[in-house]
A and B are shown apart, each in its own frame.
Chain A
Amino acid sequence: MKRIEVKLSLPVVAPLLDVMKSVADSLMGSLAVPLNPIEGDEEMHDTLQAELLGAQNGGVRSLLEMFDREFFETGMIAFDEENAEPILRACAALRLRMREQYLKTFEDESLESGDVEIEDLPEPMRHIFMCYVFLATIQELIIQHLDSEILEG
């Protein structure tokens, strides 16, 4: 099984985990991308909503599980073919929710280009934005380093 291990800086990443957990909690009962109502079929809407929510929560769980006791001892996180996809999706869900909850004041262009001076941001916005960028970095790592068989199969 192909596996990527990444060593992270504990002092940098550990403070971001609180932000991550708080955003993850807010996703427990609602979708990162709301489901449009299905005309005249409320039951189907509820079924799809529940399925999507189950998948979303599963992914978020996989993401948070990477930051376990081993991470706090060694600073290591690992991706493999089992957790890569759920983690990729979970990062997307968290980033979408962060944008909606905390980063509304940022221009779309600034967020897309990442052209934001982190040093100029006040707390707690600094940690929130750092977490937003960190999640994108995890996504890039997975996309770049796990081969196409795993991600595109």
Chain B
Amino acid sequence: MTTIFSSTQPQQETHTELALAGACRVVVLNDPVNLMSYVVLVFKKVFGFDERTARKHMLEVHELGRSVVWTGLREKAEAYAFTLHEWHLTAIIETDEKN
């Protein structure tokens, strides 16, 4: 058996990890005023959800009091929260500690 030692073999390995630096969650909170159909419409319009996904999030908001509707970079999370605010939904941004 022959082992070839290459002089060009790297001595150190570089490991690159793509992390979501400062990842945030956009969380929509329940209110007793806005109609379910309205909330579904807003989710479809703002996040591009299909009917089923939008309804799932709406029911989470309704039954659990909150639903995480988006996770990603803070800047975009803030933009989503602003848009939800324009539609008069209560949204907060939470830091996603898993990322």
Contacts and interface: CB of A to CB of B under 8 A. Distances in A.
Interface of A: 31-33, 35-36, 48, 52, 55-56, 88-89, 92-93, 95-96, 99, 108-109, 111-112, 136, 139-140, 143-144, 151-152
Interface in B20-52: 31-35, 37-38, 41, 44-45
Given A140-B37, A152-B41, A152-B44, A33 B89 contact: yes
B76 interface: no
Instruction: Report, as a range, how many residues of chain B touch the other chain.
Output: 10 to 19
A33 B82 CA distance: 11
Contact of A92 (B44, B88, B92): B88
A118 B38 CA distance: 24
Contacts of B32: 99, 108-109, 111-112
B45 A33 contact: no
Contact of B88 (A33, A109, A112): A33
Interface of B is mostly: mixed
Given A92-B34, A139-B35, A151 B90 contact: no
A92 B90 CA distance: 12
A36 B37 CA distance: 26
Contacts of B44: 152
Interface of A is mostly: helix
B86 interface: yes
A39 to B, nearest CB: 11
Nearest to B84: A33
A85 B37 CA distance: 14
Contacts of B31: 96
A33 to B, nearest CB: 5
Given A33-B85, A52-B86, A95 B92 contact: no
B45 A143 contact: no
A151 B41 contact: yes
- Smallest CB-CB A-B distances: 5 pairs: A108-B32, A92-B88, A111-B32, A99-B33, A143-B37
